[in-house]
């Protein structure tokens, strides 16, 4: 399988394209509402992926992937809050 970059040509995270390939994700967000079961399913999938990767990493790789996961989580929260704030501002201006 060819490697797909995590960074797009404009030097931005390109994780959205990877997420769109997750059928369970696209089905879950299709109605715009994430219910408790969908969140639990995603949590289980995340834990399974972490368990599959963690044992094959050496200590240096583990530290780097841990930092990557933390930065990705922080970026996701910040980007979501920024988008929500922008949408709220745009509605207020109208």
Residue 3, pLDDT score = 84
24 within 8 A of 6, measured Cβ to Cβ = no
Task: Give how far Cα 79 sits from Cα of 6, 26, 74, 82, 93, Å.
Answer: 16, 19, 8, 5, 21
Helices (H), the chain: 15-19, 23-29, 36-53, 59-93
For 20-60, write each residue's pLDDT tens digit.
889 999 999 999 999 999 999 999 999 999 999 999 999 99
Q: Which of 43, 13, 17, 48 is nearest to 28 (CA)?
A: 43
pLDDT at 83 over 80: yes
Q: What does residue 11 show for φ and ψ, rounded to 5 degrees?
A: 65, 40
């Amino acid at each position: 399988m060819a490697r797909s970059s995590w960074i797009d040509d404009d030097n931005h995270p390109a994780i959205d394209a990877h997420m769109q390939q997750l059928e369970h994700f696209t089905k879950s967000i299709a109605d715009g509402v994430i219910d408790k079961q969908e969140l639990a399913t995603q949590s289980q999938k995340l834990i399974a992926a972490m368990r599959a990767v963690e044992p094959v990493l050496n200590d240096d790789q583990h530290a780097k992937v841990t930092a990557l996961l933390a930065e990705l989580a922080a970026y996701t929260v910040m980007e979501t809050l920024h988008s929500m704030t922008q949408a709220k501002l745009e509605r207020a201006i109208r």
